[in-house]
Structure 1
Amino acid sequence: MHITTTGNANATAANAPIRKEAAPSAESTRIRNDVDAARNTALSALNNDRFHSMLEQISDASSSGALMAMSTDNQNVVDFNTALSRYAENSK
């Protein structure tokens, strides 16, 4: 079997023509910004002591079982303002 090549088979990357990159589109810029924002949010959450404590609590086997066993009762519904108030009290 014999392979015949046409053109210069010895071309290397150094000899290849330089391809100009197209300017990033608005969509790719938006996606890149969204990814950066998500990365920053995740890093912030990982460095937050309260978030870290909450993750430890819910990853505990006994706590996980208790959380899964919870059911929603219409009698125990808390409105948004009450929940926000309680959250603010516990944040101090």
Structure 2
Amino acid sequence: MHITTIGTAGWTAGSAPTREATAPSAESARIRNDVDAARNTALSALNNDRFRVMLEQISDPHASDALMTMGAHGQDKAGTDINTALSRYAESGD
């Protein structure tokens, strides 16, 4: 999976048409800052190799089958409690 960004977004909350032609209000400045922060976070995630690899793994159909089989197989079966899981992990991680 490869995502390429070209240029910038068409408009942001700060460049969207507004009713008032005067200086932006504190609310519109906050929204613009939130949109910019969200965009920067998304671009950072898309450019992160570990995030890209994780996305490729979870989008693989075989991975979703494996995740489905990890779930509970019925209401009558109790799941493994955290202490049992930790002890099994410790035993296998010697």
TM-score range (shorter-chain normalised) is 0.5 to 0.7
Cα distance in 1, alignment partners of residues 35 and 57 from structure 2: 28
Deviation (angstroms), 1:21:
1.9
Name the structure 1 match of 2:45.
Answer: 45
Deviation (angstroms), 1:65:
2.2
**Matched residue count:** 59
For residue 21 of structure 1, give the secondary structure of its aligned residue in structure 2.
coil
Matches within 5 A, 1:23-34: 23-34=23-34
Cα distance in 1, alignment partners of residues 35 and 25 from structure 2: 15
Unpaired runs of at least 5, structure 1: 1-19, 78-92
The TM-score with structure 1 as length reference comes to 0.54
Match of 2:81 among 60, 66, 75: 75
Unpaired runs of at least 5, structure 2: 1-19, 73-78, 84-94
User: Quick one: structure 1 residues 35 and 74, their matched pair in 2 at CA, closer, same or farther if it must change by over 3 Å?
Assistant: farther
Bigger RCO of structures 1 and 2 (CA < 8 A, at least 6 apart): 2
Deviation (angstroms), 1:64:
1.5
The TM-score with structure 2 as length reference comes to 0.53
Structure 1 letter corresponding to 2:64: S
Identity of aligned residues (%): 69
Name the structure 2 match of 1:57.
Answer: 57
Q: CA RMSD of the aligned region, Å?
A: 2.4
Divergent runs of 4+, >6 A: none
Deviation (angstroms), 1:74:
5.4
